[in-house]
Structure 1
Amino acid sequence: MIGCVKTSGRLAAVAVAGLLATLPACSQSDGRSGGAAGTRTGGDTLRRAAPGAVFRGGHPGAAGARDPYFPELGNGGYDVTHYALTLDYDPDSGRLKGTAEMTARATADLSAFNLDLLGMEARSATVDGRRAQLRHDGQELTLQPRDHLRKGAAFRSVVHYAGNPTSITHDNGWREGWLRTDNGAVAFGEPTGSMSWFPGSHHPSDKASYDIIVTVPEGVQAISNGRLLTQRTSGGRTTFHWRQDEPMASHVATVAIGSYDIRSSRTRSGIPVLSAIDTTAGVDEDGAVLGRFPEVMEWAERRFGPYPFSAAGVIVDQAADVPYALETQTRPTIPAGIFHTTNVVHEMAHQWFGNSVTPRTWRDMWLNEGFATYAEWLWTEDHGGASAQDHFDRNHAKAPDDDEWDFPPAEPPSASDISGQPVYVRGAMVLHMIRQAVGDEGFRALVRGWTLRHRHGHASTEDFTSYVEARAGRDLDAIWDSWLYGDGKPA
C-alpha cells in the first residue's frame, strides 16, 4: 500500500483512488458520534473555533502540517515523542472508549495546540495534569492548556474520548479508518484514517513510539504493532498490551480485533515473529505462505539491510472485511484472498521503505510504492522467475495511453492519484533505470546505504535524487527528467 499491488496480472489490492484532499468531501459510516460543536459532555463545552483563532495572550499551533495533498493532516507547534493509547472495545455494539496520552515537545511558544480527531466525542482533556479547555471543529480538536507552553518544553496531554468510530468512505467506495468486521474490527490509517480511532498528529512527518493497550471481551483477541508485553484476563475481559519501541507514523498503526490463530517463531537473527490468521478466513491451512516468511525476511535483509524493527509478523483477515493490504508497521495486514508470497514480499519491503524510511509528505509516496513494487521484481528474479529487466520490458511495452503513463510518479496531480499505477509501476521503473546506470553491485550498496542513512527518519524525493547522484558520482538528469518527472511514456 496503500496496500495496493498488481502482481502477475492478479489484482492484489485495488488502489485507493478517489482520495480527496480535504476531509469534508469524505462520507462517514453510520453510527458516528460526537465531535460536534456546541455539545456539552463531561463538564466541558466543545465550542466551534475558527481555524487559526487567537487565544488571549498568545497563538495556537497550526491546524495542519501543510501537506501538498492533505493540508489539514498533522499539526504545528509540537513534535510527538510517544503515544500511550488505552482502548476498550465492544464488538457487539461497536462502541470504543479511549484515553490517549501524548508526550511531546513544543517547537514554538504555544497558547493552544491541535490534534486530529474525526467522528469521536472528546469528553475531557488535561495538559500536564491540569484541566484544559476543549474545542472541536470537524477533524480539529484544540486543547488550550491553563498555562502557556514554552518552546522546547516537554509536555503531556491526555484526552478521554468515546463513540462509535467512523470509517471514511471515498468516491470509489473504498474505506479506511476503523472498519468493523464480522467478529471484531481492524484499523486502517493510510492516509487519513487514524484520526477516526485516536486523537493525534496524523501526518507521516511526525513519528513516535507507542504503547497500545486494548481491552476486549474474553475469548476475543486484539493484535497490534510491535511486541506483546502482557495479556491478562479479569472479570470476563482480556487486556492486551502492545509496545512499538521504534518511531512509527500514525497511518501504519493498527489494531485488529477478532478471532485469530496465533503463530509464533523467530528468525535466524533472533527477531520474534508473531502472525495472526483469522480463524474464519480458511487461508493457508497448510502453512505454505507463512512457512516462507523467514525466507522473505532473510532475503530482504540481504537486499535492503538490517531489519529496522524489533518484531515482525503478519495479520490475515477475511477478504470481505478488509478491502486491501496495508503495510501496518512490523505486522502488515493482508486480506485472505490475496495472501500470497509475492504480496508478503511487497508489504514486508515497506518495513524498510515507508515505515522506517518514511516519506516527508504524501507527494513522496513513490519512494514507498516504487521500492515495494521493485522488491517483487527482485524476489522473482532471485527465485528463478522473470528478471527485473523482463518486468521492466513488459511494462514499457504498454501503450502510451496505458495507466502507467498517466502522470509522473514524483508529481501525482491530486490526492486521488497518490496510489495510482504510475506511483507503483513507473516508480519501480525509475529504480531499474538507476540500477542500469550504477550496476548490480552499485545498486545493492546504494539501496542498503539509503535505508541506513534514513533509518527511522524521513526522506523526500529531493533527498533521494541527491543521494543517488552522490553515490553514482555524476548527475542523472536524463533519468529524473524522463522517468521521474517527465510527462507521458518515456522513449
Structure 2
Amino acid sequence: MRGVNPGRGRWVIISCALSAGLLAAASPAAAAAPRYTPGAPGAGDPYFPDMGNGGYDVSHYDIRLAFHPETKAIDATTTILATATQDLSRFDLDFQGPLTISRLSVNGRNAGFTRSGAQELVITPPHGLRQGSTFVVSVSYSGVPQQIDDPALGVSGWVATKDGAVALNQPIGAATYYPVNDTTNDKATYTQTITVPAGLTVLANGEPGPRTTHDHQTTFRWTMNRPMASELSMLAIGGYDVTRGVTAGGLPNITAIGKSIDTEPGQGRVFNETTAQVVQWESSLYGPYPFDSTGGILADVGVGYALETQSRPVYDQSTSEVDGDLLAHELGHQWFGDSLTPVHWSDIWLNEGFATYSEWLYQEKFANVPVQQTFAKAYADEKDWSGAVADPGRDRIFDDLVYNRGAMALQALRVEIGDRAFFRVLTQWPTAHRYGTVSTRQFIEFVERLTGRDLGSFFRTWLYQPGKPALR
C-alpha cells in the first residue's frame, strides 16, 4: 500500500527495552497509515437517493461506442478519469439495464466488480485509492440499451428510433448506455467517439472533431470541454440534415433535422437562423453564452418533450411547433440549468422557472406581449396552488408548479426589487456561478446581497409556502 513513509520520526536513542509493538504504536508513520473505506452508493439527493455516488470526483468521460442498427446493439468502452475524495477501498458507478461487462480495470489492472440492485456497479480496485490521487476506470460492455419509462417522469435514457437512437438523460437516463456518476453535483468534460454504418450521422454535445470512414463505417468525434452534468449529456444517431452557421457574435451554430420529419423547404435554414437570433438576444440579457458552440436537433424520437441538452438542445418533432418561444426556453437553459446546475433536484425551479421566464421575455421582445400581462394570465389561470416551488417532490419536478409558478415568482421578484436590480440579477447570477452548482438558498442570499434587503418573507411566500400568494 502507498502512503506509509518509514523515513519520518527518527529517534537518536532507542531503548533496547522498548518493544517493537510500542515503537510501531508511537511512530507517526503508523498514525498516518490510510484507513480505506467504501465510497457511498448514493450522492445524497433526497429525491433520487440511489443516483450518484460518493468518494470520488470525475473530471472526464471518454465514451467510445459502436452502434449496430440491424440489432440495435452497442459495443462500447467508457474510460473515466477521477480523483479520490477519501481513502477508497471500493466505489460505485451507476450503470443500468441488460448491458454485459466484458472487462473492467482500474489504473490499467483488472478490478473486481459486482452488479447490485437496479443501477449500482460496485468496483473493487486491486489496491486502495489514496485520497487526492487520480485514477482511471475503464469499462468495456455490450448489449441493447433499454430506455427508462418512469410513470411520473416519462421516458429518458437511450431511446431507439426508426433509424438509430437518441439519448435524453434527464433526470436518470445516462446510465442506460455508459457507466457514470449520475448526479448533478459531479460535472465533467466529455469526449464521445461514435462509430456507425456509413450514411448515418452522429450528433452530440460540444464541438465536432475529425470524421473518418473505413470499411463502410464512419466514426464521429464530439468533445464538450466545459463541465457538464450527466443528465445534460446527449447523443443522436440516424439520418439528419445538418446546417452549419454562426451567430452574429461569431459563435459556431450546428443544427440538424431528422430526415424522416416532414418539413417545409428551407426549414433547416430557418431553424439555424432562429437559434442564432435567440442565442444572441439572450446573451444581451444573461451575459456571454457559456459554451463554445450552440445549435439544436429536431428529432423523430417520440418522447413528447424538448430537452436542454448542453450546447445543443433536442426538440422532439411531436412537441408543439419549434418556434421562437420554445427555442427561447431551451436555449435559456444554457445559462440556467446547464452552466448553472442545481445541487439537488428540489432546486429545479432554478432551471425551469428561469427558462419559462425566458419565454415570457421573448414574447415581450418579439410579439409585443408584456411580461406582466403574461404573469397576470398565468396567475388567474393557475388552478393548483398546492406544493412548494422550491421543494416540489420527486414526482412533480416537471409540473407547472416548477415551470409557471417558478416564472411567476421571478416576475413577482421583479416587481418587488425593481427592473434595475432584477436585470442585474439576470446577468450577474449566472456569471457569478458559471459552470457550478447552485441551490435556492444561494440564490436568495445572492439577491439579498445585491439589493441590500431582507427578502425572507417574500421568498417564503413565493417559493416555500403552498397557497396563492397575494399580490402587492
TM-score by length of 2: 0.89
Identity of aligned residues (%): 40
Q: How far apart are 1:173 and its partner, in Å?
A: 8.4
**Alpha-carbon spacing, 1:262–1:309, altered in 2? closer, same or farther (3 Å):** same
- Residues 284-315 of structure 1, C-alpha deviation per residue, up to 9 Å, x if partnerless? 53333432222101110001110000011001
CA RMSD of aligned residues (A): 1.4
2:372 to 389, 412, 431: 389
Deviations 1:244-277 (A, max 9, x none): 0000000110110000000001112221111111
Distance in 2, matches of 1:308 and 1:445, equals: 17
Correspondence 1:489 to 2:472: no
Shift of the alpha carbon at 1:59? 1.9
What is the CA–CA distance in structure 1 between the aligned matches of 2:424 and 2:100, rounded to whole Å? 50
1:369-393 CA-to-partner distances (Å, cap 9, x unmatched) read: 0000000001111124211101111
Residue 133 of structure 2 is aligned to residue 153 of structure 1: yes
Q: 1:193, 1:293 → 2: CA distance? A: 26
Aligned-partner SS, 1:392: helix
1:80 corresponds to which residue?
Answer: 58
One-letter code of the match for 1:167? Answer: Q
Superposition map of 1:9-20 within 5 A: none
Q: 303, 307, 316: which one pairs with 2:298?
A: 316
Structure 1 partner of 2:32:
none
Shift of 1:415: 1.0
Native 8 Å contact 1:124 1:134 kept in 2: no
> Counterpart in 2 of 1:302?
284
Which residue of the partner structure matches residue 166 of structure 2?
186
Q: Structure 1-normalised TM-score? A: 0.86
Which consecutive segments of 4 or more residues in structure 1 shift more than 2 A? 283-291, 320-323
Task: Identify the residue that residue 264 of structure 1 maps to in structure 2.
Answer: 244
Aligned residues: 431
Whether 1:449 and 2:431 are equivalent positions in the alignment is no
Conserved 8 A contact 1:178-1:187:
yes
Which of 320, 338, 345 does residue 362 from structure 1 map onto? 345
Any idea what the Cα deviations from partners look like across 1:72-124, whole Å, max 9, x if unmatched?
10000000000000011112211011101000110000011100000122221
| 1:135 equivalent among 114, 120, 127 | 114
Indicate whether 1:406 and 2:386 are aligned: yes
Deviation at 1:347, TM superposition (A): 0.3
Contact (CA 8 Å) 1:95, 1:162: kept in 2 or not?
A: yes
The SS at the match of 2:245 is: strand
Native 8 Å contact 1:189 1:254 kept in 2: yes
| Equivalent residue, structure 1, for 2:407 | 428
- Larger deviation: 450-459 or 439-448? 439-448
User: Are 1:284 and 1:290, in contact at CA under 8 Å, matched by a contact in 2?
Assistant: no
What are the Cα deviations for residues 201-244 of structure 1, in whole angstroms up to 9, with x where unaligned? Answer: 00110000000010011101111000001111101110000000
CA shift digits 1:7-61 (9 cap, x unpaired): xxxxxxxxxxxxxxxxxxxxxxxxxxxxxxxxxxxxxxxxxxxxxxxxxx83210
Paired residues of 2:63 and 2:193 also in contact (CA < 8 A) = yes
* 2:313 pairs with one of 327, 332, 340: 332
Aligned residue for 1:292? Answer: 274
C-alpha deviation, 1:172, in angstroms: 5.2
Match of 2:446 among 462, 467, 470: 467
**Offset of residue 406 of structure 1:** 2.5
Q: Given the superposition, is the C-alpha separation of residues 450 and 213 from structure 1 closer, same or farther in structure 2, using an over 3 Å criterion?
A: same
Q: CA deviation at 1:436?
A: 1.2
2-structure distance, mates of 1:430, 1:393: 12
1:137-195 residue CA offsets vs partner (Å, 9 max, x unmatched): 13100111111100000111101111110111122583111100011100011000111
Structure 2: runs of 5 or more not aligned: 1-34
Q: Distance in 1 between matches of 2:265 and 2:314?
A: 17
d(CA) in 1 for partners of 2:381, 2:76: 50
8 Å CA contact 1:187–1:254 kept in 2: the answer is yes
Give the unaligned 5+ runs of structure 1. 1-56
Answer yes or no: is 1:68 the counterpart of 2:49.
no
Q: Alignment partner of 1:383: what SS?
A: helix
